[in-house]
Amino acid sequence: MFIKKNFSLKKFNTFGINVYARYFVEVKSIEDIQKIFDIYPYISKFFLGNGSNILFIKDYYPGIVIKMGMKGKKVIKENDDEAIVQAYAGENWDEFVNWTIKKGFSGLENLSFIPGTVGAAPIQNIGAYGTEVKDTLIKVQAYEIDNRKIREFTRKECQLTYRYSCFKHPYYRNKFLILSVFFILRKKYKQLNTSYVEIQKELENINVKTPTINDLIQAIFNIRQKKLPNPKKIGNAGSFFTNPIIGVLDFKKLKYQYPDITGYSISNQKIKLSANSLIENIGWKGKKIGNVGIYEKKPIILVNYGKASGMEIYSFSEKIMKNIKKKFGILLSREVNVIP
Ligand SMILES: Cc1cc2nc3c(=O)[nH]c(=O)nc-3n(C[C@H](O)[C@H](O)[C@H](O)COP(=O)(O)OP(=O)(O)OC[C@H]3O[C@@H](n4cnc5c(N)ncnc54)[C@H](O)[C@@H]3O)c2cc1C
């Protein structure tokens, strides 16, 4: 374990912001973690995965950035129908998903190609194409900072909902370092989730009527290639905002006034609004201010066109939020974790 001083995080956040950390370390074991807490009991700590969902707004982080590097994945238990697998937090998420598929397990395929680590997946209950981590997660093992003990959270305790978990709650935020995650996956009855309209369209596009798991993954790959910017080419952190959830009556009123706004029903009473359509409706599609802009193909994604600072991106997001609040009375929330 090597502690680095005054370390540039440019390569450790997909926005490509050149923020410096006072200290930086990659931890690969519980012993490493304990040592860091012994050496630096009091300075602030930030837990880092692959930096694909964060925005540092200052140029300097005055504490220690602890990159989770614990690796390993294994099948804990299996029978003819199901398998329980454990993956350590520093594993690359997509490589882990691929590993489960190669083993003949299903349940995570719709979450293929999401950047990041296994440890960050429960933090915002990652989701894509009609599937969320909560559908297969059974428990999370975490290191509790205050008492330096390992604690387990059941799926229920994790409180996984749309882009949320208890780890984002102010009371729990930064208090637990996730060490590993357990999933229950299907072996038999591999019912694929192709319900998402975009997936159905893409399967039609590639002429597949009865998709195999590999066809589904190919369709997801194609959609993501077409719609999402590659952080290696242009700095971004995926969706910057979450889609707001409003009541059915409010949606009807909004739709009457602004017919272009879209949303879909998530229960009898609630509608998930498309933040993309709200941003388009304020006329910000393709907008650019200085080094920051809105991604043409998906307005919910903010991009760093060059040497943007974290504050520039943050201010840009503030402007979008203000305009949306003014026009529709709706408060957008940031999906990206802002580090003050
Ligand atoms: C191009 C692109 C596409 C994306 N598509 C999707 C998508 O389809 N669906 C989706 O849900 N997300 C998507 N994302 C967002 C992102 O990939 C996920 O949120 C991912 O889980 C972040 O993982 P990470 O390791 O990079 O986490 P980081 O960005 O490093 O961290 C995110 C948060 O988790 C915390 N954290 C990280 N690891 C740990 C740990 N071990 N213990 C405790 N806290 C931890 C950090 O402190 C931070 O608050 C996308 C991002 C990009 C750039």
Mean predicted lDDT score pLDDT of the chain: 96
22 is known as an active-site residue: no
What does the pLDDT look like over 199-209, one tens digit per residue?
Answer: 999 999 999 99
Measure CA 276 to chain center. Answer: 17
Q: What span, in angstroms and rounded, lies between the C-alpha atoms of 171 and 104? A: 39
41 CA from centroid of ligand 1 (Å)? 26
Ligand 1 atom at minimum distance from 337 CA? 49
pTM over 0.95: yes
Query: CB of 150 within 8 A of CB of 184?
Result: no
Active-site residue identified among 106, 155, 163, 165 = 163
- The residue-averaged pLDDT of 4-12 equals 98
Q: What residue owns the CA closest to ligand 1's atom 28?
A: 51
Q: Is 239 a catalytic residue?
A: yes
Report the pLDDT value the prediction gives residue 165, as an integer from 0 to 100. 98
From CA 109, how far away is CA 309, in angstroms rounded?
A: 35
Rounded Cα distance between 191 and 205, Å, is 21
Question: How many whole angstroms from 250 Cα to the centroid of ligand 1?
Answer: 31
Compute the average pLDDT of residues 42-70. Answer: 97
| Ramachandran bin of 283, using left for φ above 0, alpha for ψ from -120 to 50, beta for the remaining angles | left
Domains in the chain with CATH codes: 4-68 (3.30.43.10), 73-186 (3.30.465.10), 197-223 (no CATH), 235-339 (3.90.78.10)
Q: Is 224 a catalytic residue?
A: no
Secondary structure of 184-219 as H, E, C letters: EEECCCCCCCCCCHHHHHHHHHCCCCCCCHHHHHHH
Ligand 1, atom 34: nearest CA belongs to which residue? 120
Q: How far apart are CA 322 and CA 110, in angstroms?
A: 34
**What is the per-residue pLDDT across 223-277, written as a single tens digit (0 to 9) for each?**
999 999 999 999 999 999 999 999 999 999 999 999 999 999 999 999 999 999 9
Task: Give, using CA atoms, the residue closest to atom 52 of ligand 1.
Answer: 238
State pLDDT tens for residues 160-183: 999 999 999 999 998 999 999 999
Which is the catalytic residue, given 239, 274, 309, 317?
239
Q: Which residues contact 118 (CB under 8 A, 6 or more apart)?
A: 73, 87, 88, 89, 90, 91, 92, 93, 96, 180, 181
Q: What is the predicted pLDDT for the residue at 189?
A: 63
145 C-alpha to ligand 1 centroid (Å): 21
∠ Cα 276 282 287 (to 5°) = 75
From start to end of the chain, where are the E strands?
4-8, 20-27, 45-48, 54-56, 60-68, 73-78, 82-88, 127-128, 131-132, 137-144, 149-154, 176-186, 235-239, 245-247, 263-265, 270-273, 288-289, 292-294, 301-304, 337-339
In this predicted structure, the answer to whether residue 60 has a pLDDT above a threshold of 80 is yes
Ligand 1 pocket, CB under 6 A? 14, 46-54, 68, 89, 114-117, 119-121, 123-124, 126-128, 177-178, 228, 231, 236-238, 337
Q: At what angle do helices 197-205 and 213-227 cross, to 10 degrees?
A: 100
Identity of the residue numbered 7: F
Ligand 1 center–CA 238 separation, angstroms: 9
Cβ proximity of 306 and 288 under 8 Å: no
Contact 333, 271 (CB under 8 A): no
Ligand 1 center from residue 164 Cα (angstroms): 12
* Per-residue pLDDT at 104 exceeds 90: yes
Nearest atom, ligand 1, residue 128 CA? 8
Q: Which atom of ligand 1 is nearest to the CA of 68?
A: 41
pLDDT of residue 207: 96
pLDDT band for 191, please (50, 70, 90 cuts).
Answer: confident
As a whole number of angstroms, the distance between CA 151 and CA 140 comes to 8
